[in-house]
Structure 1
Amino acid sequence: MKKISTKIATFILIGIIISACNTVRRVPDGKQLLTKNEILENGKKINKEEVELQLYQKPNSSILGYRLRLNLFNIANPNPDSTYKAKFKNHPGKYERKSKWLSAKQVDRLGKSFWYHGIHDFLKKTGEPPVIIDTLRTKKSIARLKYFYFNNGFFGVKANYKLDSLKPKKAKIKYTITTGVPYFIDSLKTSIHTKVLDSMYQSKIASSYIKSGNIYKTEDFNKEKDRINTYFRNNGIYNFQPNYITYDLDTLNSNNKINVNLNINDYSFQDNDTTKTEPFKIYKISDVNIYTDYSAVNNSEIFTDSTTYNNFHLYSHTKLKYKPKSITDAVFITKGSLFADSRTVLTTRYLNNLKIFNYPTILYEVDKRDSTAQSLIAKVYLSPRKKYSVGASFDVTHSNIQDIGIAASITETIRNVFNGAETLEISARGNIGASKDLANPQNNFFNVSEYGLDLKLNIPRIWFPFTTEKIIPKSMIPSTLLSAGIATQKNIGLDKQNFTGSLSYNWNPKKNTTARFDFLNIQYVRNLNPKNYFNVYASSYNALNNIAKVYNTDLSYVDKDTGDLIIENGTNGFINDVLTGKTTLTSSNKDFTSVNSIEERRVRLSENDFILASSFTFSKTTKTDLLDNSFYLFKTKIESAGSLLTLFANAASLQKSQDGNYKIFNLEYSEYIKTEFDYIKYWDLTKEKVVAVRTFFGIAIPYGNSNNIPFSRSYFAGGSNDNRAWQPYQLGPGSSGAINDFNEANMKIALSAEFRFKIFGNLKGALFADAGNIWNVLDNVTDEKSTFKNLSNLKEIALGSGFGLRYDLNFFVIRFDLGFKTYNPANEIGKRWFNEYVFAKSVLNFGINYPF
């Protein structure tokens, strides 16, 4: 039965494809479907996107040559209402019969149902109507092509088109372009009426976009206008605008060369009914007035409180609620400085970043006290946000731990909490989720829960006992973040209670560059249910249980019915007997080594962690906005943990434990050095095709008080944002074959590449390849398959490849990726390549947004 239904479905699908392959099905008689645009530039075919963009009509979109959207549109019934009505006109008795067991209204409403009407609306909306050749649009394309080439220096360009009929109702358009010889810039002269402007321009002429010997490009002239305007307005020329700049182009008797004359006239203004002109002036700031509680309602009211601080004048309609320095630190317009747009922009950005005001307004007016009329009063209008506000969020999440999670939080925000523009956030959060990978004896769908409380205090400056202005000036928009939090996880591994606290400094050294220094980052992880270890880490239990069946002699350790070790008395008892020599196993035996490794891993993963770390993070990107698909992002981080505690322990002459390690609060703290490098690069191939590459390297080396890395600071491989051919924690370390339940290590290499392309509408596709692995290095793991010893271990880098579908909802992207194990280093040599390249062993990943 299953085979028959499959065949029927296949025949139906083939029938749909065949019926849809008539691409001219919806092309009216006497019209033609545009199948191709062919562009010949000086007799040669070209495929330049910037030229193709000039055409008003383009053929229907296709996927590997198949016009899917056009065929979907062709399948749709253009008039489903008429078809439904005709069904009853041809069979009059049918309507009466249906009306007997359905009401007349229900029968009429049936015509609006999905199967009769909605499916056709969906196909028409998803599909694409045929592109019918329109000669009027073709002529417009010719005009636009001429304009494009003219703007790129080809003043004598000629363009024409020819219609080639291929089949009935099908044709292609052949565009023929003869560019001629381009025009070059020969000389550049200037005619700048205001002497001060002429002097300023000549000092920066080397930066001009218009240079002798360059091909004429309209874009260069527009760039030069913007450059001159920006330079003047950042150096005191308050009244200047780009429309004061004009160009005279002389092409007569120049043999395809252009003599350019740049003109800048004097400032013109309206005085009553008369237009007057005068030379431009350089303006300085005479006063900076800050209105701290401006609104449209109190605009005309008298200010009752004011103060002056560092030449800034602050005004308030009620008692001033802010420490003057907290406001003036955000204002870069200073008394005595030249007028500059850049200072206005920076001030607006900084004030907005305080998050205690609505978007600020900055206006300038000529100071009437100055007889030379070369002074400006800067007026900064600030509209405070509400001191108290409550926010809530609800999210459906997916992570490496949870297949699906439902999270909710509520946040109370208190602004200007200490009258220094500080912002305090108090958040309570909760999450329930489902994970098939975790111990779940009761088989509940929602088997994961987490709840917590967080405090965050943001200070809009560097909070430090000494001034840092010379090292980190306020133009870098520095801030300090103090945070503390507590969270409790249930049914996640051993269940955990997590206490965190941090003091971090953030600033922007340059545009698109960020720096963060975590002066203190404290984390205390307390395992609430360590007895659950062998229930969670089933692979460790199975390995131990198999060894016990051979060497165990104590019947109290095993279940009488199954003969398996009892958790926890049996497992702990057997491990203790092996390690204390109460069994026949000796230290030279391989099984003894396995039991010892299982116990070491159990102790490490079930013990409480105390981490006191400091770190520095630096990132730089060239990305300009969300639509930029040609950029790079570099991020690096270095972290050191435990060093301060070791200095304290040595100074205080604290005693060491039996393992030779110091303890603080009866806990062996972690000590390590960790560094990471992350590089992402995008290439825009045009036509909504993008190649994206990511490389990552991270290593954490334990020393001093530790011989391993805490689980929370270690690396794992696999998952929707990593190597997508493996599940999270199921790749590595090395060639060990992921023998544990949650495989992690202290070194990681990852490389990923994606080719992204548009399918139709908001649906996009991707082909990807992910390479990488994790290893143990310079720690207490001795398994050769898991450790990295030399460069020959790079042959253990796993490779996964596959394809994905992504639906862009503008504010986020829903992503499905299907990964195949292309090279698996866990397999024996000779069976590593393509041995598991089948759908049965593929991994389907669901994710939100792009993986990198």
Structure 2
Amino acid sequence: MKVFLGLTRNWAKIGLLLLLLCISGCNTLKKVGEDELLLTKNSIIVDNEKINSSEIKGLITQKPNSSVLGYPLKLNLYNLAKENPDSSFQDWLQRKEKREKRLNNLLSEKQVNRLRESFMVKGASEFLKRIGEPPVTIDTSETNKSINKLKAYYNSKGYFNNVGTYEILDGERKKRAKIEYQITLNKPYVIDTIQKNISSPELDSIYKSSSVKSYVKQGEQFDLDKFTMERERLTTLFRNSGVYNFQESSINYDILRDTTIAADDQLMDVQLNIKKFRSTSDSTDTNTPYKVARHKKINIYADYDISGGTDTLNSISYENYNIYYRNKLRYRPKALTDAIFFEKDSIYRDLDRIRTYRQITNLNTFKYPNVEFIPDATQTELETNIYLAAKPKYSLNLNFDVTHSNIQQVGTAFSATVITRNVFGGAETLNVSARGSIGLLNDSGPTDATFTSELGGDVNITFPRIWLPFNTEQIIPYYMLPQSRLSAGTNFQRNIGLDKQSLNSILSYNWSPTDRIKNNIELLNVEFVRNVNTDNFYNVYRNTFSNLDEIADQFQDDPQYAPYFEPIQEEGEEPRLSIPEGANNFARYVLNDSIPVSREDRDIVNSIEERRRRLTENNLIFATNFTHTKNSKSGINDLDFYQYRIKLESAGGMLSMLTNVIPFNKNPEGQNLVFGVPFSQYVKTEFDYIRHWEIGGGQVIAFRSFSGLAIPYGNSDNVPFVRSYFAGGSNDNRAWNAYELGPGSTDNINDFNEANLKLALNLEYRFPIAGDVKGALFADAGNIWNVFDNETNPDAIFSGFSSLGDIALGTGLGLRYDFTYFVFRLDVGFKTYNPAKIGSDRWFDGYNLKKAVFNIGINYPF
């Protein structure tokens, strides 16, 4: 175990040494032939202007070897492989055991070991070739393909007379070369007139009403992409205007050009053709004009069974909907019809079909629905059938996790959730969950305990509508997927912190105006936090105790103060304040001037006592908050996107308004009490922004900024610990452990440092290394400060722009392994600029492996 830990501590040194050996030992041209040239760069010049568009560069078929910060890592890994590994290696892998037995019988041990070493070299060669890249040498046939692709691209933009050439330029070093692609565009072609040939009069009418929105316009330059966009626009337009069966393949364009006109005339005529409907069935009438159809009859099958048929069902009519069911209808009719966006006698809209699918899925009661449209003989009236197959009434989810943190060496967590669907007949979902965890604490943990444990449970019910005494459908229609959630839960935590017990209850509403925008309102968020073991404060917050004990050292030899100190157990042992009585009494008597100390020491003791009182008092929070998020990511493979989150929160406002009506009890500090606890009062705002840029070859630059501020007022002079900010950790500034950084320029004055103002900036360059192994270089900046609260330490208070000099900077590198469903992450952070130091010591003082911070995480930090 000790050997393993030693290797773990020194893995970075070993890895760095191996990397340096590889770099120094690799010859980039090792596998480039005498008559070959290594391709180092492509450049595209269009009409004497250099092009940097990633879209256009992507048309080039032959690209230089990938690199990491300019170093061709994969090429040099490939070069490390043996030139011609024996092809029998693969056969040896398949018959390994058989061969080993035969070798042991026929050859000496020395010969066997030598042969095994040979096979290992071949295996390593195969591996290096698989993860590396062969050298990309210039191939003129590939270069000509690239020229043809570039010409075709500019043809699609209307430059039909463009000319393309290329030139191979010698590189700055031997056996290396660049390729310069040159495109001369010449005069572009322009759309002169637009004609139309639409077979259906109804489609012609719909087209005329929206022709001004066309992407293909007279007088504009020819662009094939705009023709594609126009086909998609028209398909969406027709399918949302009653033509339920419209096919995009019915649309095409003819380019008309008079060959008798002058050669230098770049005007062209365009004709839009929309053909008749072509049926894929065996019907004899395969070509009929498209017509606008209306919903004549809408049927909802609430207990659909694909094998049971629909002949023996009961039915009821509700608001122009026919609902079919077996035996007894288990759902309130309104719960079903509110999820259907088709209306009787209204024209068909594809948008209604999409919204129906989304809302039925949002109910979490039915499987993915099946919607069927049956036209009559005239193709103008539809019988619409919605088939709903119910999910199981009950289901059970079990989860088991292994965790690690800067406090826990290892921990296990488990949870179980029982889900009950359609609780009250309106597609409501009830979740009852229980969870628990146990962890092995680090030796440097906050207490002398060995294990930590946590136990909790929640009851959560979700309504597929806004649950208020008045109708909100005009403001938040059902297509926005409205939901109301009511939850209550409790949590018990032992042997970490002060052994907290918490109770919480939340009433929230959420809805999504679009696929990318989400809104959430927590109308009522009530949380009660009770510290069970307040006498353990100085055992948990050891830095705080050390500061108090250091002041008490000047009185340790005075007999009259002996009751404050623990009895000395061993010779030479330094007296120490006893916990909790000695420390609490010493602080109390210093503050009432019974123990004479300097003014500076008294201020320190006052700060310690205020912190102890704040962190040991129980918290009661009545809050309301609103969160708005937007994400432009279009799919899991979209690497170029942005997202942001805005949150506003207010706590204690409603209770404060009641103070003039209800005579609240007060504590000695004048705070109003509810159930014997002072309620928290503050306002809080947060803004979180993330931006990813894809720069090609699987490389991404990721940026994140965060700002948050919570201001106490009224009944509070500080923000509750559970709602304050901390800095450091695997998803924040990775050069510091969680709660270790700040506030301001203070140097780890508390074991859990927190404040009410936070600024954070993160920048990360992500790149592929080999296969599913990826790397990252990152820079994290930020800090926390106190502002507008009762903090008195000037080093911890934000006092304006000058305090921005206390922004800490951590830099480092990371390795990630992509398991497809999640990413395992290891980051190493170095303190590059530490505001807790003085002068030049702030820079690079922690830039060594002994002071590096190792972070293990799941998925990317942002």
Same fold (TM over 0.5): yes
Q: Kindly state the Cα deviation for residue 434 of structure 1 after the two structures are TM-superposed.
A: 4.5
Check if 1:441 corresponds to 2:443.
no
Q: Secondary structure at the match of 1:420?
A: coil
CA distance in 1, matches of 2:196, 2:401: 61
Secondary structure of the 1:428 match is strand
Matching residue within 376, 393, 396 for 2:399: 393
- Determine the structure 1 residue equivalent to 2:332: 323
Which one-letter code corresponds to 2:448 in the other structure?
A: P
Q: 1:61: which partner in 2?
A: 66
Q: CA deviation at 1:121?
A: 3.8
Q: Deviations over 1:453-501 (max 9, x none)?
A: 1221111111122222122221211101111112211222112112111
Q: Letter of the aligned partner of 2:202 in structure 1?
A: V
Partners of 2:614 and 2:68 in 1: CA distance: 52
Given the alignment, which residue of 456, 462, 467 partners 1:458? Answer: 462
Quick check: 1:152 aligned with 2:164? no
Amino acid at match of 1:645: L
Equivalent residue, structure 2, for 1:506 = 510
The one-letter amino acid paired with 1:563 is P
Question: Deviations for 1:562-581, whole angstroms, at most 9, x for unmatched residues?
Answer: 31111112111212221233
Query: Which one of the candidate residues 124, 137, 147 is aligned to 2:129?
Result: 124
Say if 2:856 is the partner of 1:817.
Answer: no
- Offset at residue 727 of structure 1 (A): 1.9
Give the corresponding residue for 2:540.
536
Could you say which residue in structure 2 is the equivalent of 1:710?
720
Shift of 1:555: 0.7
Q: CA deviation at 1:18?
A: 5.9
Partners of 2:114 and 2:294 lie apart in 1 by 74
Instruction: Using the TM superposition, give the Cα deviation of residue 327 of structure 1 relative to its aligned residue in structure 2, in angstroms.
Output: 1.5
Q: How far does residue 269 in structure 1 lie from its aligned partner after superposition?
A: 4.6
Residues 685-704 of structure 1 correspond to what in structure 2 (within 5 A)?
685-704=695-714
- 2:105 pairs with 1:70: no
- Alignment-derived partner of residue 641 in structure 1: 651
Q: Specify the SS of the correspondent of 1:592.
A: helix
Q: 2:494 aligns with which of 485, 490, 495?
A: 490
Rounded Cα–Cα distance in structure 2 between residues aligned with 1:202 and 1:521: 53
Q: Which residue number corresponds to residue 572 of structure 1?
A: 584
Does the C-alpha gap of structure 1 residues 381 and 133 become closer, same or farther in structure 2, counting only changes over 3 Å?
farther
3-state secondary structure, aligned to 2:513: coil
- Check conservation: 1:306, 1:315, Cα contact below 8 A: yes
Equivalent residue letter for 1:53? G
2:561: which partner in 1? Answer: 554
Contact preservation (8 Å) 1:33, 1:132: yes
- Give the stretch that moved more between structures: 654-663 or 138-147: 138-147
Alpha-carbon contact 1:433-1:448 (below 8 Å) kept:
yes
CA distance in 2, matches of 1:692, 1:168: 36
Which range is displaced more, 398-407 or 556-565?
398-407
User: What is the TM-score of this pair, normalised by structure 2?
Assistant: 0.88
Q: 1:709–1:277: structure 2 CA closer, same or farther, 3 Å change rule?
A: same
Query: Contact (CA 8 Å) 1:245, 1:263: kept in 2 or not?
Result: yes
Give yes or no for contact 2:89–2:123 (8 Å, CA) kept in 1: no
Residue 585 (str. 1) matches residue 597 (str. 2) = yes
> Is contact 1:514-1:618 (8 Å) kept?
yes
Aligned positions of 1:450-849 closer than 5 A:
450-551=454-555, 553-561=560-568, 562-585=574-597, 589-829=599-839, 831-849=841-859
Aligned to 1:302: 311
- 1:727 partner amino acid: N
Q: Give, in angstroms, the shift of residue 655 of structure 1.
A: 2.6
Which residues of 2 match residues 365-380 of structure 1 at below 5 A?
365-367=374-376, 372-380=378-386
Secondary structure of the corresponding residue to residue 398 of structure 2: strand
**Residue in structure 1 matching 2:268, options 252, 258, 262:** 258
Kindly state the Cα deviation for residue 383 of structure 1 after the two structures are TM-superposed: 1.3
The count of residues paired between Structure 1 and Structure 2 equals 830
Point out the more displaced range, 596-605 or 392-401: 392-401
Paired with 1:273 and 1:704, the residues of 2 have a C-alpha distance of 78
Which secondary structure state, in structure 2, belongs to the residue aligned with residue 785 of structure 1? helix
Deviations 1:404-430 (A, max 9, x none): 543222221111122211111122222
- CA deviation after TM superposition for structure 1 residue 173, in Å: 5.7
In structure 2, the residue corresponding to 1:509 is in which secondary structure?
A: strand
Q: Which amino acid aligns with 1:380?
A: I
User: Partners in 2 of 1:624 and 1:583 — Cα distance?
Assistant: 67
Q: Helix, strand or coil: the match of 1:554?
A: helix
Q: CA deviation at 1:392?
A: 1.4
Mapped contact 2:721–2:754 kept (Cα < 8 A):
yes
Q: Structure 2 matches for 1:236-275, cutoff 5 A?
A: 236-252=242-258, 253=261, 255-269=265-279, 274-275=284-285
- Residue number in structure 1 paired with 2:290: 280
Q: What is the CA–CA distance in structure 2 between the aligned matches of 1:138 and 1:312, rounded to whole Å?
A: 64
Q: Secondary structure at the match of 2:710?
A: strand
Change (3 A) 1:601 1:169: closer
Q: Tell me which residue corresponds to 1:89.
A: none
Higher mean displacement: 375-384 or 113-122: 113-122
Structure 1 residue 333 corresponds to structure 2 residue 345: no
- Do the aligned partners of 2:68 and 2:767 also contact (CA within 8 Å) in 1? no
How many Å separate the matches in 1 of 2:14 and 2:194?
Answer: 76
Contact kept in structure 2, 1:56 and 1:138, CA below 8 Å: yes
Q: 2:419 aligns with which of 399, 413, 421?
A: 413
Deviations 1:298-354 (A, max 9, x none): 1x2523322222211111233221111112111111112210111101110111111
Aligned-residue RMSD, C-alpha: 3.5
> Is the 1:23–1:70 contact (alpha carbons within 8 Å) kept by the matching residues of 2?
no
Superposed CA deviations along residues 718-759 of structure 1, whole A, max 9, x for unmatched, are 222222222211222122223111111112122223333334
Q: State the secondary structure of the residue aligned to 2:727.
A: coil
Query: Is the 2:369–2:386 Cα contact (8 Å) retained in structure 1?
Result: yes
Q: In the aligned structure 2, how far is the partner of 1:171 from the partner of 1:625? A: 38
Query: Given that residues 555 and 561 in structure 2 are in contact (C-alpha distance below 8 angstroms), is that contact kept between their aligned partners in structure 1?
Result: no
Structure 2 gap segments, 5+ residues each: 1-5, 7-11, 93-99, 569-573
Cα deviation code 1:251-294 (max 9, x no counterpart): 44372232212122344558966446444321111121111122
* TM-aligned CA deviation for residue 613 of structure 1: 1.4
CA distance in 2, matches of 1:570, 1:275: 98
Cα offset, 1:594, TM superposition: 1.1
Q: Which amino acid aligns with 1:414?
A: T
Question: Conserved in 2, the CA contact under 8 Å of 1:154 and 1:179?
Answer: yes
Aligned partner letter, 1:565 = L
Secondary structure of 2:554 counterpart:
helix
Deviation at 1:100, TM superposition (A): 8.7
Query: How much does 1:606 deviate?
Result: 1.3
Give the secondary-structure state (helix, strand or coil) at the position aligned to 1:663: strand
- Residues 461 and 486, structure 2, Cα contact 8 Å, conserved in 1: yes
Assess, with a 3 A threshold, how the Cα gap between structure 1 residues 226 and 802 changes in structure 2: closer, same or farther.
Answer: same
- Amino acid in structure 1 at the alignment position of 2:857: G
Bigger mean CA offset, 114-123 vs 735-744 = 114-123
* 1:208-219 paired onto structure 2 within 5 Å: 208-219=214-225
Range with greater deviation from structure 2 (596-605 or 732-741)? 732-741
Asked if the contact 1:24/1:170 (under 8 Å) is kept, the reply is: no
Change beyond 3 A, Cα 1:827–1:30 = closer
CA distance in 2, matches of 1:272, 1:794: 75
Which of 199, 202, 207 is residue 196 of structure 1 equivalent to? 202
One-letter code aligned to 2:296: S
Asked if 1:314 is matched to 2:323, the reply is yes
Deviations 1:633-663 (A, max 9, x none): 2211122222333344542313312221222
Gaps of 5+ in 1: 87-93
Q: Which residue of 1 aligns with 2:357?
A: 348
State percent identity of aligned pairs: 45
